[in-house]
Amino acid sequence: MLSLAEENYLKSIYHLSDAGEKAVLTNELAEALNTKAASVTDMVKKLSTKEFISYEKYYGVKITGKGKSVALAVIRKHRLWETFLVQTLGFKWDEVHEVAEQLEHIKSTLLIEKIDEFLGYPQVDPHGDPIPNAQGKIKKLEKTALKNLATGSESTIVAVKDSDSNLLKYLEKIGAKPGKKLTVISKEEYDGSLQVAIESQHYFISKEVSENILVTL
Amino acid sequence: MLSLAEENYLKSIYHLSDAGEKAVLTNELAEALNTKAASVTDMVKKLSTKEFISYEKYYGVKITGKGKSVALAVIRKHRLWETFLVQTLGFKWDEVHEVAEQLEHIKSTLLIEKIDEFLGYPQVDPHGDPIPNAQGKIKKLEKTALKNLATGSESTIVAVKDSDSNLLKYLEKIGAKPGKKLTVISKEEYDGSLQVAIESQHYFISKEVSENILVTL
DNA sequence: CTACAAATTTAGACTCACCTAAAAAAATAT
DNA sequence: ATATTTTTTTAGGTGAGTCTAAATTTGTAG
Ligand SMILES: [Mn+2]
Ligand SMILES: [Mn+2]
Ligand SMILES: [Mn+2]
Ligand SMILES: [Mn+2]
């Protein structure tokens, strides 16, 4: 049975490695987990012994199949809980992430399967992120950050960053929800800001925000 | 912010003291929490410093008002989650206690109030135990153990012990649910067993079981 | 009242997850 | 190629919560 800390490390490693594609460095992990590099070194040694990751000194860590399946189970729980909170209990989409960070560690297969069933097997969470199925299979969506779109291009929002409550409140206000169509009106070279149209309304969007809106290719 | 261990200690102290009526001894607490007396001594010192309990060496602990309100908040969460699991997700009443032991520690006032609202402000949990309200007020029910009833007496089941899954499965089988009427047909002095009628069906009930069925006075 | 037993506390140690400071390795700049 | 900076690891330590074994206090029985 994995501890809360171990689960959080594996989840972070999974995310930072782009689903296991690339190696993750000690400092990245320390940053993401709000901890110190020395603590990370300790923990990755432990996770490596348990074979959830492979660790080579000074070169970072790679997640194993075993580690991936733990990470995906946690991510599945996180996203199902967020969906439940919004759909069933009427939470706003900016209120769910913190609570889901706790709920994702509840140990009960029965519980999460019942929630999944109750919700009608949703495919994505309230922020557009895909929900892995019980076998850990996840639909990887074709997406890019809004900031990568060329002027004039049309696209559809597929997901948004879910961990910044203020960002989410702002996105709500301008109607930037997954599923919404959007057109890039203009881009400012200087600061990376851009003008977009969402449902015929025009908005100025900062570079920072444009990095956290994911759109179809 | 209280730790999981601290919350569990306070909950146990509250239960073992009959809602704060009497002092709780070190060994009782060790037994209830599945730990050792030495560990309990350490923890009660800490809780005492924080004024959740008052502790006098060798004489046990008494819960304070502050401690009671923490305990009641945890008990509220436990019982609301159990109710949710049974009513909304279709868990059986013997499947919920363990999961609720985890869920009761989720920190989010919003979450528990939403659940309460979603369930329509239930008064009792699936095992008949009263649910404290958001202010920590709890309806104390007039009840006694089935074993205390005299031969021939009629009574109604108000609650059953919720932590023993096998007991609950057995009670389910004989229809011993809160709200059900029951008559004591006969009592066996020798082993404390008794014969009862539940909805005109007769059952032999061991002393042990009769201690875990609570009925109206 | 004394002896023994039971309950409780103290002492010392362990694991987990974290920390700071120092050492070492790797990356970068001159 | 050497010096400097950055990254990572090692060394040593902390607090929470637990443990065992030993000491102490309280309760009970003769
Ligand atoms: Mn989230
Ligand atoms: Mn999300
Ligand atoms: Mn319970
Ligand atoms: Mn219950």
What mean pLDDT is predicted for residues A15-29?
97
**Taking CB atoms and an 8 Å cutoff, what residues of chain B touch A110?**
91, 95, 99
B65-87 vs B109-119: helix crossing angle, rounded to 10: 50
* pLDDT tens digits, B71-113: 999 999 999 999 999 999 999 999 999 999 999 999 999 999 9
Q: Residues near B124 by Cβ (< 8 Å), separated by ≥ 6? A: B79, B130, B131, B159, B178
Q: Which two tokens stand for residue B74?
A: 């945890």
Tell me, what's the pLDDT at A197? 97
Residue A107 has pLDDT above 90, yes or no: yes
In chain B, the percentage of residues whose pLDDT exceeds 70 is 100
Q: Return the CATH architecture of domain B4-63.
A: Orthogonal Bundle (1.10)
CA distance B215 to B217: 6
- Three-state DSSP state, A31: helix
Query: Which chain A residues have any C-beta within 8 angstroms of a chain B C-beta?
Result: 85, 88-91, 95, 98-99, 102-103, 106-108, 110-111, 114-115, 118
Ligand 3 centroid distance, CA of B6 (Å):
18
Of A27-36, A71-80, A187-196, the one with minimum mean pLDDT is: A187-196
Distances (CA, A) of A158 to A11, A131, A150: 22, 13, 17
Minimum Cα–Cα distance from B85: chain A residue:
A111
pLDDT value of position B78: 98
Q: Are A95 and A165 in contact (CB under 8 A)?
A: yes
Q: What is the pLDDT of residues B117-154, one digit of tens each?
A: 999 999 999 999 999 999 999 999 899 999 999 999 99
DSSP state of A128: S
At residue A198, the pLDDT reads 96
pLDDT value for B141: 87
pLDDT given at position A201: 95
* The one-letter amino acid at A34: N
Provide the pLDDT for residue B46.
98
Q: Among A152-156, A187-191, B58-62, whose mean pLDDT is lowest?
A: A187-191
Among B33, B156, B170, B204, smallest CA distance to B94 is for B170
Rounded mean pLDDT of chain B? 97
| Cα–Cα distance measured from residue A35 to residue A61, given in angstroms and rounded to the nearest whole number | 17
Give me the mean pLDDT over the A166-191 stretch: 96
How close is the Cα of B98 to the center of ligand 4, in Å? 10
Contacts of B91 in chain A (CB under 8 A): 110, 114
Q: Give the SS3 label for residue B18.
A: coil
* Of residues B95, B99, B111, nearest to A99 (C-beta): B111
List the A52 CA – D10 C1' distance (angstroms): 23
Task: Using an 8 Å CB-CB cutoff, list chain B residues near A91.
Answer: 110, 114
Query: Which residues touch B156 (CB under 8 Å, ≥6 apart)?
Result: B179, B180, B181, B182, B215, B216
Domain ranges of chain B: 4-63, 143-216
Q: What is the pLDDT of residue B19?
A: 96
Q: Is the separation of the CB atoms in B199 and B183 below 8 Å?
A: no
Looking at the CA of B159, name the nearest ligand: 4
Fold that domain A143-216 belongs to in CATH: SH3 type barrels. (2.30.30)
The predicted structure's pLDDT at residue B18: 96
Mean pLDDT of A120-125: 98
Q: What are phi and psi of B119, to 5 degrees?
A: -85, -5
Gyration radius of chain A's alpha carbons: 19
CA distance A103 to A89: 15
| Phi, psi torsion values for B92, nearest 5 degrees | -80, 155
- Give A124-159 pLDDT, tens digit per residue: 999 999 999 999 999 998 999 999 999 999 999 999
Which of B58, B59, B30, B28 has its CA nearest to residue B43?
A: B30
Q: Which amino acid belongs to residue A170? A: Y
The per-residue pLDDT for A204 is 96
pLDDT > 90: percent of chain B: 98
Closest CA to A133 of A76, A68, A79: A76
* The pLDDT of residue B77: 98
Contact A118 B89 (CB under 8 A): yes
Residue range B4-16: mean pLDDT, rounded: 98
Rounded percentage of chain A residues whose pLDDT exceeds 70: 100
DSSP state, A131? P
Residue A44 has pLDDT above 90, yes or no: yes
Mean pLDDT of A168-192: 96
> Mean of the pLDDT values across residues B155-178?
97
What pLDDT, on the 0 to 100 scale, is given for residue A141?
87
Residues A78-94 have pLDDT tens digits of 999 999 999 999 999 99
Mean pLDDT of the region A89-118: 98
- CB contact under 8 Å between A88 and B118, yes or no, is yes
